[in-house]
Amino acid sequence: MSITASQFRAARAMLDWSPEKLGEAAGVDPADLASFESGQSGSDHQLNDKLRTALEKAGISFIDNNQTSAAGGPGLRLLKSPGEFDTDQSETVQYKEHLAPDAPTGAGG
pLDDT tens string 20-60: 999 999 999 888 888 888 877 666 788 888 999 999 999 99
At residue 76 the predicted structure's pLDDT band, cuts being 50, 70 and 90, is confident
Q: Does residue 81 have a pLDDT over 80?
A: no
pTM equals 0.67
Residues sharing a CB contact under 8 Å with residue 51, sequence separation 6 or more, in sequence order: 3, 8, 22, 26, 28, 33, 36
Nearest to residue 62, comparing CAs of 70, 51, 71? Answer: 51
Distance from C-alpha of 1 to C-alpha of 16, rounded to nearest angstrom: 24
Domain ranges of the chain: 5-79
Q: Does residue 10 have a pLDDT over 80?
A: yes
Q: Does residue 87 have a pLDDT over 60?
A: no
Q: Does residue 83 have a pLDDT over 60?
A: no
Amino acid at position 78, single letter: L
CATH of 5-79, one of 3.90.1010.10, 1.10.260.40, 3.40.50.300, 2.40.50.100: 1.10.260.40
Higher pLDDT, 14 or 88: 14
Distance from C-alpha of 2 to C-alpha of 49, rounded to nearest angstrom: 9
pLDDT for 33 equals 87
